[in-house]
Amino acid sequence: MAKIKKGDLVEVIAGATQARGGDRGKQGKVLRVITEENRVVVEGINFVTKHVKVGQTQRGSKTGGLETVEAPIHISNVALVDPETKKPTRVGHRVEAVTKDGITKNVRVRYAKKSGKDL
């Protein structure tokens, strides 16, 4: 089971510092998770310049040229942000018994290891 999911708030914990032009210490939302490659795309982090072939739309306006897009970053280089302290934390799982309409069900819950809050 993946510890980081789409929509989670994460912080970059590896790489060059912001003073040196890197992304370490920045926080952003996970846009997508690429499980086959163990990578995540984070909003506002790891921008790359992409060359897109110039074309024309039906109205005649130009498309393409240089675009900046977020590139995937390895999942080990990001950590989930604790909702209470706003600092990186590890993720734990616990099984809780939930009763609904007289039926007891075991539900797996993610929680922040530092504060113990549910995610």
Its pTM stands at 0.81
Task: Write out pLDDT tens, residues 40-73.
Answer: 999 999 999 999 888 887 777 778 889 899 999 9
Task: Write out pLDDT tens, residues 71-101.
Answer: 999 999 999 999 899 999 999 999 988 888 8
- Number of other residues whose CB lies within 10 A of the CB of residue 31: 15
Nearest to 69, CA basis, from 96, 41, 34, 36: 41
Task: Write out pLDDT tens, residues 5-28.
Answer: 999 999 999 999 999 988 999 999
